[in-house]
């Protein structure tokens, strides 16, 4: 039986922010999402999150998880944080202690640590080239652990040790309670260090995967860890049949799905909830957020797609924007500088350039000309536009909603349509053109004199 305690009470002073450190965005999630997610993957009896700085904000965010929360009212150190969690720990369980700012820890590593630990109290260590900032692991000549010394309390010889403490511990509850009683603030920070529960007889698990223990204490470290996560995800998709032109310049959230033989070009962002089909092309600088894209779709340069569905063999962009509620049934062409919102396009319909379509249902095989606009908002309410099948709409046409256009309709360029159009009709709504002889030259000449 396992209880997981996540320590997330720190102020994160080096982040230089009023925001709690664990709520910083990190590769598509909040930092606190990572330790909670890995803890959930272990299927423990209970997860306890210790909060302190800006506890209300963090508690509100993590309310989506089934976790217990305790508050460390005063920042007295990591041992004190664990003490606050003791009353909620399940009796008779082993206690796994994680840090809230180590997002690279994974299930496999923790499972191996738990399975191989036989001591009543143990911790994970690793060896690094540059141990600066980490507690050092002191060992006796027989390699038995003596203790862990935090860097601020190290002497010069101890600073040269390259084995560091990861901050991950496993203990029986009874042993943890016993050891916490003996922790004293005898250090430069006058804090209760959790490292002090490690002493002669403690177990240690040495991991060779040192990168997994990277913590986040500064914005620079946040950037470094984010890049590692994005690269790991890119490699995962590469190994599953996706072509990624530049894995170091690709921003993929961890729950997305991408089909085989899809090509991802540089500087593409694909956010949570998205599913991309097979044989697609996602070109540079595009953003896809919480959207479903079928097979054989091209998303061209600089397009933004949010909470939308795109049918097979469609093309979108360049520089198109599909806002939430957009549905393209398939074989659609949405061109440059077209914006669509809460609208459905039937199979084969297209809007090739410079258009706005909002709150509309567009039928099959419809052509919307350049500069087409659905005027869906009257200043107080949104109204619906319905266009039938096989309709051709000329350039610079406005449909004033609410309005219905039947099948097989032709709407002349430059028309502002305010009435419904029956099927098979031609609609023209233009004022009569008048040519006033010589007035153009007179006007232009007058303006030139003014400019002088």
pLDDT of residue 450: 66
Same fold, 2-215 and 342-452: no
Which uninterrupted H or E stretch holds 257? strand 257-258
The per-residue pLDDT for range 373-409, each reduced to its tens digit, is: 999 999 999 999 999 999 999 999 999 999 999 999 9
| Residue 54 near residue 126 (C-beta atoms within 8 A) | no
DSSP string, 298-359: EE-TT-EEES-EE-TT-EE-SS-EE-TT-EE-SS-EEEEEEEEES-EE-TT-EEEEEEEEES
SS (H, E, C) 159-177: HCCCEEEEEEEEEEHHHHH
pLDDT of residue 12: 86
Rounded CA-CA distance 196/181 in Å is 11
Rounded CA-CA distance 98/40 in Å is 12
The per-residue pLDDT for range 110-161, each reduced to its tens digit, is: 999 999 999 999 999 999 999 988 999 999 876 889 999 998 899 999 999 9
DSSP string, 261-272: T-EE-TTEEEET
H-state helical runs in 198-304? 219-238
Rounded CA-CA distance 150/289 in Å is 43
Tell me which CATH homologous superfamily contains domain 2-215.
Spore Coat Polysaccharide Biosynthesis Protein SpsA; Chain A (3.90.550.10)
Rounded CA-CA distance 90/100 in Å is 21
pLDDT of residue 133: 84
| Residue 69 near residue 110 (C-beta atoms within 8 A) | no
Strands (E), 17-176: 25-26, 29-30, 46-51, 68-71, 94-99, 121-127, 136-139, 145-149, 163-172
CA 114 to chain centre: 30
- Helices 33-41 and 107-116 sit at what angle, rounded to 10 degrees? 50
The per-residue pLDDT for range 302-334, each reduced to its tens digit, is: 999 999 999 999 999 999 999 999 999 999 999
- Which of 200, 237, 353, 383 is an active site residue? 353
Residue 98 sits at the vertex; the CA angle it makes with 97 and 100, to the nearest 5 degrees, is 140
Rounded CA-CA distance 385/391 in Å is 14
pLDDT of residue 51: 97
pLDDT of residue 196: 94
Q: CB burial class (10 A; 0-12, 13-18, 19+) of residue 85? A: buried
Residues 6+ apart with CB under 8 A from 298: 280, 281, 283, 314, 315, 316, 317
Ordered per-residue pLDDT tens for the chain, 452 residues: 999 999 999 888 899 999 999 999 999 999 999 999 999 999 999 999 999 989 999 999 999 999 999 999 998 999 999 999 999 999 999 999 999 999 999 999 999 999 999 999 999 999 999 998 899 999 987 688 999 999 889 999 999 999 999 999 999 999 999 999 999 988 888 899 999 999 888 999 999 999 999 999 999 999 999 999 999 999 999 999 999 999 999 999 999 999 999 999 999 999 999 999 999 999 999 999 999 999 999 999 999 999 999 999 999 999 999 999 999 999 999 999 999 999 999 999 999 999 999 999 999 999 999 999 999 999 999 999 999 999 999 999 999 999 999 999 999 999 999 999 999 999 999 888 899 999 889 988 887 766 65
pLDDT of residue 229: 97
Give the position of tokens 């990861």: 166
- pTM score, two decimals? 0.90
| Residue 332 near residue 348 (C-beta atoms within 8 A) | yes
Catalytic, 353? Answer: yes
Tell me which CATH homologous superfamily contains domain 342-452.
Hexapeptide repeat proteins (2.160.10.10)
SS3 291: coil
Q: Are strands 426-427 and 410-411 parallel, antiparallel or unpaired?
A: parallel
Q: Where are the domains of the chain?
A: 2-215, 342-452
């Amino acid at each position: 039986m396992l209880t997981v305690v996540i320590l997330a009470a720190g102020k994160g002073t080096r982040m230089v922010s009023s925001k709690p450190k664990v709520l910083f965005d990190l590769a598509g999630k909040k930092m606190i999402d990572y330790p909670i997610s890995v803890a959930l993957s272990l299927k423990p009896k209970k997860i306890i999150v210790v909060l302190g700085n800006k506890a209300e904000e963090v508690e509100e965010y993590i309310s989506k998880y089934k976790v217990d929360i305790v508050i460390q009212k005063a920042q007295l150190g990591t041992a004190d944080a664990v003490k606050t969690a003791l009353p909620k720990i399940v009796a008779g369980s082993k206690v796994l202690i994680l840090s809230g700012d180590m997002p690279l820890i994974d299930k496999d590593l923790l499972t191996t640590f738990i399975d191989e630990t036989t001591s009543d109290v143990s911790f994970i260590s690793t060896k690094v080239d540059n141990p600066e900032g980490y507690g050092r692991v002191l060992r006796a000549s027989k390699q038995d652990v003596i203790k862990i010394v935090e860097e601020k309390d190290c002497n010069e010889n101890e600073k040269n040790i390259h084995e560091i403490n990861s901050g991950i511990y496993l203990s029986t509850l009874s042993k943890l309670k016993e050891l916490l009683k003996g922790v004293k603030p005898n250090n430069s920070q006058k804090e209760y260090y959790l490292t002090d529960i490690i002493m002669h007889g403690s177990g240690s698990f040495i991991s060779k995967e040192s990168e997994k223990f990277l913590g986040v204490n500064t914005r620079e470290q946040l950037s470094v860890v984010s890049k590692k996560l994005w690269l790991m995800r890119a490699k995962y998709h590469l190994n599953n049949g996706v072509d990624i032109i530049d894995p170091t310049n690709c921003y993929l959230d961890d729950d997305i799905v991408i089909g085989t033989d899809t090509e991802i070009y540089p500087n593409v962002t694909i956010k949570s909830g998205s599913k991309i089909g097979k044989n697609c092309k996602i070109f540079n600088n595009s953003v896809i957020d919480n959207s479903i894209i079928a097979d054989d779709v091209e998303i061209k340069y600089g397009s933004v797609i949010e909470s939308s569905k795109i049918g097979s063999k469609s093309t979108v962009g360049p520089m198109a924007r599909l806002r939430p509620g957009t549905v393209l049934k398939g074989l659609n062409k949405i061109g440059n500088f077209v914006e669509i919102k809460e609208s459905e396009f039937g199979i084969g319909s297209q809007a090739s350039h410079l258009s706005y379509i909002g709150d509309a249902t567009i039928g099959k095989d419809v052509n919307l000309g350049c500069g087409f606009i659905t005027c869906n908002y009257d200043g107080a309410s949104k109204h619906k536009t319905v266009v039938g099948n096989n309709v051709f709409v000329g350039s610079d046409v406005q449909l004033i909603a609410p309005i219905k256009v039947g099948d097989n309709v032709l709407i002349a360029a430059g028309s502002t349509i305010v009435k419904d159009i029956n099927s098979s009709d031609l609609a023209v709504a233009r004022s009569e053109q008048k040519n006033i002889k010589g007035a153009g030259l007179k006007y232009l000449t007058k303006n030139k004199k003014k400019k002088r």
